[in-house]
Amino acid sequence: MKKVVIAGGSGYLGKLLHHHFSQKNWDVQILTRQNEKELSSNYIHWDGEHIGPWIHCLEGAEMLINLSGKSVDCRYNRRNKVAIIDSRVNSTKTLGEALVHLNCPPKLWINASSATIYEEAFEGVQDEYTGTVGDNFSERVCKMWEESFFSLHTPMTRKVAIRTSFVLGKGPLLNEFLNLVSWGIGSRLGSGKQKMSWISEEDFLRSIEFIRKDETLDGQVNITHPRPVRNREFMTLLKQIKGKRFLIPVDTCLIKLGAFIKGTEAELVLKSRNVIPRKLLDHGFQFQHADLHMALQQILHPSKS
């Protein structure tokens, strides 16, 4: 039985991967900071900062996937900024230190990053070869995250940092947009011109499998669909699929006010992410969903797709 260890596997993507590999009859081990007394058998407690008994679950694993990190869905005050950085960098360094102590370390280590590492782009696309890493807070976080990952010496373990875009499925992100549509709000958010890089749950999982099987893939890999759309196109598709006739636009000032009241950052919906998966395409990866309309139809109306 093949084994995968998922650090930070109690979140949305972690649960998605847990279900995927369990369905394939893999031994799935989850490293989590949750209280030990509340954990089921395949959940293992760790603090993300110190070597402990949890290290034994890594021995002989086919793959390690690290998704650890405080959610960015919060206000970027000083306390949260420190927690966002430390939870990513420290957990990555700790896992790297753990691999040194193993007789049979994982063959592959996939570490989370984000497509938001690139500077804002409305027209020119950002890929792994020519994309420009930005310098605002969220972009610097991703840069430090990747630097800590690639600075670790793991000669027996191939390493891939996945710069993942919005993952669309029956999860919290799409639900936020659907709620706006249900309330008749959001023909555009802000200018509506900002690009949205996205990938469906299915293609996210297929890309992870593709990386696992293609041993020539390493370094940074963009996990996103090759056809980003503008926000107003995205909202129009949701309106049509949900059968709404009219939506009220939401200006930038209202987005910022709403984000402040909710305790989050407007950047999460206003930043233009125009990212494409050049490496995946160069290596021959084929997407299950041809475009956003096809993906949304399958997510929201699977019986009709």
- Name the residue ranges covered by the structural domains of the chain: 3-166+200-225+275-289
Q: What is the dihedral sign for C-alpha 210, 215, 217, 218?
A: positive
Cα distances from 221 to residues 60, 121, 162, 207, 302, in angstroms, run: 25, 18, 5, 10, 29
pLDDT at 303: 67
The residue-averaged pLDDT of 202-226 equals 97
Q: How confident is the model at residue 86 (pLDDT cuts 50, 70, 90)?
A: very high
The residue-averaged pLDDT of 173-183 equals 89
Q: State the virtual CA torsion across 32, 33, 36, 37 in degrees, nearest 10.
A: -100
Distance between CA atoms of 84 and 240, rounded to whole angstroms?
Answer: 37
The residue-averaged pLDDT of 77-104 equals 95
pLDDT tens figures, 114-155:
999 999 999 889 999 999 999 999 999 999 999 999 999 999
Cα distances from 6 to residues 217, 294, 305, in angstroms, run: 20, 30, 32
Q: How confident is the model at residue 281 (pLDDT cuts 50, 70, 90)?
A: very high
Determine what percent of the chain is predicted with pLDDT higher than 90: 82
Q: For the domain bounded by 3-166+200-225+275-289, which CATH number is listed?
A: 3.40.50.720
pLDDT at 205: 97
Q: Identify which of 250, 67, 283 has the alpha carbon closest to the alpha carbon of residue 176.
A: 250
Q: What is the pTM of this model?
A: 0.94
Whether 270 shows a pLDDT value over 60: the answer reads yes
Mention every residue, 6+ apart, whose C-beta is less than 8 A from residue 282: none
Q: How confident is the model at residue 201 (pLDDT cuts 50, 70, 90)?
A: very high
Average pLDDT of every residue of the chain: 93
How many angstroms from the chain centroid is the CA of residue 289?
18
Q: Identify which of 290, 293, 271 has the alpha carbon closest to the alpha carbon of residue 197.
A: 271
Q: Using the structure block, give the residue that is written with the tokens 């034994």.
A: 56
